[in-house]
Structure 1
Amino acid sequence: MPPRVSSLNNRFSEFVNAAPLVSVFKSFVDPVVVVAVLYLLSIPFQVAFDGYTCVLAAFGFLLSAQVLDGLFLFVPGHERPLFGLGRFAVQWLFICVTLTLLGWVSGFAAYFHPPFILAWFVLAPAALIGVHALFRPIFFLPRDSVETQRRAVVIGANRPGVALAEALQTDPLHRINWLGYFDDRELARLPGVKASRLLGTLRDLPSYVRHHGVHNIYISLPMSSQPRVLAMLDALSDSTASIYFVPDLFVFDLIQARFDHVAGIPVVAVCESPFMGLRGVLKRFSDLVLALLILALIWPVMLGVAIAVKLTSPGPVLFKQRRYGADGESILVYKFRSMTVMEDGDKVVQATKQDQRFTPIGGFLRRSSLDELPQFINVLQGRMSVVGPRPHANAHNEQYRSLIKGYMMRHKVKPGITGWAQVNGFRGETDTLEKMQRRIEFDLDYLRNWSIWLDLKIVAKTASSMAGDKNAY
């Protein structure tokens, strides 16, 4: 299944059926456990819980709330107790490394006894696993326990209605007994819907709700059916059932969809940057940490490449090209010069295999990605991210924005040195429209599903595939 389709289904399922317990654990329980372990350890280690320790606790709380998935042992569809433990281990390791680097760079680590911090790094994840294991039997009650389930029906067997019904049946964290659909259409016009699940028409709904004790009613009708919806709500006015409206979000290309409020008025965000609020702070912080670490390791390589570029061809060492940054604003992106030309106008010709414009070492620089190293300076400047959609020349943006639907959505974030499309084989020349479309599909998939975990995965895959990429030239 193409990334756009599978991602859209996943995002819709999360949007209409996000388990409240996951949200509680992610936003409150897990971070509180992390801070509680720090506080309890301060007693045997005789560490005063003063301003310095409170700052450490605050960073631990914020990172845990943002990085940990919440209920990592309770992945929907997987009732194995240890499912997700490996993912949790990587996430906790990221928190530890981030706090360690932050303390080292700022000098803050000098205020703490190393065994105290080490004990916290070891015991906090053990406590998290214990808390999750303790609550697991409560969350995974027997599915056939009717007393614990709320009976629900879905009005409208359309795409969002079917997606919701499937989510209600497969998510073990929801104690909902889905009974079936109500739809005015005949069964023949409802592909994939079993006859036993079609409970009747909208006219039959009020009677069914009263006689079967339905608790939840999910209305999945198009907005054009407002008169029908109002009539149905009026017919259900003497019912105690909870009624929910499921918007048809499939008509949108969802990018970080969520509910929000503007001046107290509820709105639905269907296309938004994933780096809003605390997520943006975490993304910027991870960019700075990664860029500083990598530059500290590669500066001898960069110096050697700069000398080689200067000695093998006339012209500047760095090539500066205007690209689209966040929100489509123009930025200057740095690269080691690999060609004899400095194209940055209204027409830019992409590099091809055996391109005659390459300098003597230009082909090698591009195949090995060494020409991209100066972009870590762009990251420190705040113009780019370590991971994100790769920046295209402005001329290419103007060419493709009218040819590919959703092309400009990739510019809702800062461009990256590496990206989800690149590690999936869409790097280098895009000599056909289809190749560019596939690249954009992966870029938008990244925006819909961004997480620190995904960034680390992309960085790891980039490092392992830098040498010998056949698409790099």
Structure 2
Amino acid sequence: MLGIQGLVARLVDVFLIVAGAVLASHIRFEDTVQSRLDGAFITFSVAFALVSFPAFGLYESWRGRSLLRLVSRASLAWIVVQACGLVLMFSLHRTEVISRLWLAYWTAITGGVLIASRLMTYGVLRRVRRAGMNLRDVAVVGYGAHCQRIVRKMEASPASGFRASAMFDVRPGTDVALACVSVIDDFHEFTEYVRSNGVQEIWLALPLSEGSTIQRFVNEFRNELVNIRFIPDMQSVAMFDGAMIDLIGAPAINLMASPLPAHALVQKDIFDRIFAAVALLALAPLLLVIAVAVKLSSRGPVFFTQYRKGADGRIFKIYKFRTMRPHVESAGVVTQATKGDSRITSVGRLLRRTSLDELPQFFNVLRGEMSVVGPRPHAIEHDELYRKIVNGYIHRYRIKPGITGWAQINGFRGETDRLEKMQKRVEHDLYYLLNWSFALDMRIVVATVAKGLVSSNAY
């Protein structure tokens, strides 16, 4: 059932959406007599928000979770709501009555206040929890470095709202080195401590091999209102973060699979398509100028095409502006461009240095073959070479390749004449997969525009 907190949160969001529309109208139409609102559009947006926001997890408890992820979820959710509203209004042939400037003001104002309201709530709760209120006592079960790491993380984040009150040492005699937490090595003494002190959470920081211990605690507290959470030690066996998923109705842990859950991939795909469409419309004059310049620079086609691997190894044809004079290479061989390469035209050299040759890849993004941000795709011949000698290389293709990426804005782009360069690039790509968020994508896009257009490594 919908709790009182969830109901209040929804009512606040509805108020902010409507208030944002009214304020935008007053800003757009200075004369209050002339100010007008499109009631249908506002109603649609409110309805879409009430349906979409829960799907993005905006009404869940964010205790102990990332603030940046909350901001990115709220931003993306509101953009999706407005996009859906626009599509519906277009299908009803009502777009001509909507002021584009009013819509821009409304989207920006409401997006800002939706984020601000959550930041304010988040900030208030952090202060309250730092003051020792609204805390949840946690008893940790485990041993070794993984268990100690969980307790120390809890101690280092007092604003998260969790407080370690005791630890059950599964293997007595090991060095637990936790001075701030009571360590108990007797099972019955531990269970009595949990019950008598009103401990609300038990975290099982155990490896997968401790199945019997996990079952023992689940059975012991089966009929009590104690949250039992399993935090497995996955570092030694999982390629990524060992996320738990629902698979044909059964819980499953990803050991080697895409680190991005299905809903994140959907969010990323929606953003990619919208961003690519807007970019192509905005850059159309520049694309035309570059196409003419390439055509005049040397004989040959305007676009260079080459087959690359996409998500899950699917082959697609990538588009770039041609930067080299037409030449023939041996079958199965792709020669990378080098400094002072005579094959590169004068126009091509400028395009490669500024990355403008990559702009046609927005068509690949629009077609769903690439993403705006992701690991850069390499020639298939290079894939076959590096997958055998660079650890983790093939896992770059767990998601769609991108026009730009974490490796590129950190200087790992251009020629890979040494194996160490490719290893560093792959390390950065895997870091991106492990730490993906909408906020990180935005950071990479901004960094690409701000400093990534010109690079000394591109030639």
TM over 0.5: yes
Structure 2: how far apart are the matches of 1:371 and 1:41?
40
CA positional deviation for 1:121: 5.1
Pairing 1:299–2:284 present: yes
Structure 2: how far apart are the matches of 1:97 and 1:412?
25
Match of 1:165 in 2: 151
2:205 partner letter = S
Give SS of 1:445's match: helix
Match of 2:434 among 448, 452, 464: 448
CA positional deviation for 1:471: 1.0
Structure 2: how far apart are the matches of 1:238 and 1:123?
45
Give SS of 2:305's match: strand
What are the superposed Cα offsets for residues 71-112 of structure 1, whole Å, 9 maximum, x if unpaired? 99x89699xxxx97xx95997599469837973994754454
Structure 2: how far apart are the matches of 1:31 and 1:252?
41
Match of 2:232 in 1: 247
Moved more, 30-39 or 355-364: 30-39
Pairing 1:464–2:450 present: yes
Structure 1: how far apart are the matches of 2:63 and 2:206?
30
Match of 2:46 in 1: 57
CA positional deviation for 1:321: 0.5
Structure 1: how far apart are the matches of 2:52 and 2:109?
16
Structure 2: how far apart are the matches of 1:157 and 1:257?
19
Match of 1:405 in 2: 391
Give SS of 2:160's match: coil
2:317 partner letter = L
Give SS of 2:258's match: coil
CA positional deviation for 1:443: 1.6
Structure 2: how far apart are the matches of 1:311 and 1:115?
40
Contact 1:139 1:173 in 2 (8 A): yes
Specify whether residues 47 and 358 from structure 1 end up closer, same or farther in structure 2 by C-alpha distance, changes over 3 A only. Answer: closer
Match of 2:86 in 1: 103
What are the superposed Cα offsets for residues 215-234 of structure 1, whole Å, 9 maximum, x if unpaired? 24333232334455556777
CA positional deviation for 1:41: 7.7
Pairing 1:209–2:194 present: no
Give SS of 1:363's match: helix
Match of 1:35 in 2: 14
Root-mean-square deviation (CA, aligned residues, Å) is 4.4
Structure 1: how far apart are the matches of 2:346 and 2:122?
63
Give SS of 1:224's match: coil
Structure 1: how far apart are the matches of 2:350 and 2:111?
47
- Please report the TM-score for the alignment, with normalisation by the length of structure 1: 0.75
Structure 2: how far apart are the matches of 1:127 and 1:224?
44
Match of 1:309 among 294, 302, 306: 294
2:403 partner letter = I
1:351 partner letter = A
Alignment: residue pair count: 435
Specify whether residues 61 and 462 from structure 1 end up closer, same or farther in structure 2 by C-alpha distance, changes over 3 A only. Answer: farther
Match of 1:264 in 2: 249
1:458 partner letter = I
Give SS of 2:394's match: helix
Structure 2: how far apart are the matches of 1:108 and 1:60?
20
2:159 partner letter = P
Match of 1:276 in 2: 262
1:249 partner letter = M
CA positional deviation for 1:320: 0.9
Specify whether residues 59 and 179 from structure 1 end up closer, same or farther in structure 2 by C-alpha distance, changes over 3 A only. Answer: same
Match of 1:371 in 2: 357
Match of 1:438 among 419, 424, 428: 424
Structure 2: how far apart are the matches of 1:196 and 1:88?
33
Specify whether residues 458 and 158 from structure 1 end up closer, same or farther in structure 2 by C-alpha distance, changes over 3 A only. Answer: same
Give SS of 1:472's match: coil
Give SS of 1:443's match: helix
Specify whether residues 356 and 389 from structure 1 end up closer, same or farther in structure 2 by C-alpha distance, changes over 3 A only. Answer: same
What are the superposed Cα offsets for residues 148-195 of structure 1, whole Å, 9 maximum, x if unpaired? 65543322233432232133321423243432451425455x5xx245
Q: Counterparts in 2 of 1:16-95, with a 5 A limit?
A: 33-38=12-17, 50=40, 52-61=41-50, 92=75, 95=78
Contact 1:218 1:243 in 2 (8 A): yes
Specify whether residues 428 and 265 from structure 1 end up closer, same or farther in structure 2 by C-alpha distance, changes over 3 A only. Answer: same
Specify whether residues 384 and 282 from structure 1 end up closer, same or farther in structure 2 by C-alpha distance, changes over 3 A only. Answer: same
Structure 2: how far apart are the matches of 1:97 and 1:243?
35
Moved more, 399-408 or 231-240: 231-240
Contact 1:255 1:273 in 2 (8 A): yes
Structure 2: how far apart are the matches of 1:28 and 1:354?
64
CA positional deviation for 1:446: 2.0
Structure 1: how far apart are the matches of 2:204 and 2:79?
45
CA positional deviation for 1:444: 2.1
CA positional deviation for 1:461: 1.1
Structure 1: how far apart are the matches of 2:400 and 2:72?
28
CA positional deviation for 1:266: 1.8
Overall identity of the aligned pairs, in % = 30
Match of 2:30 in 1: none
1:463 partner letter = V
Specify whether residues 89 and 412 from structure 1 end up closer, same or farther in structure 2 by C-alpha distance, changes over 3 A only. Answer: closer
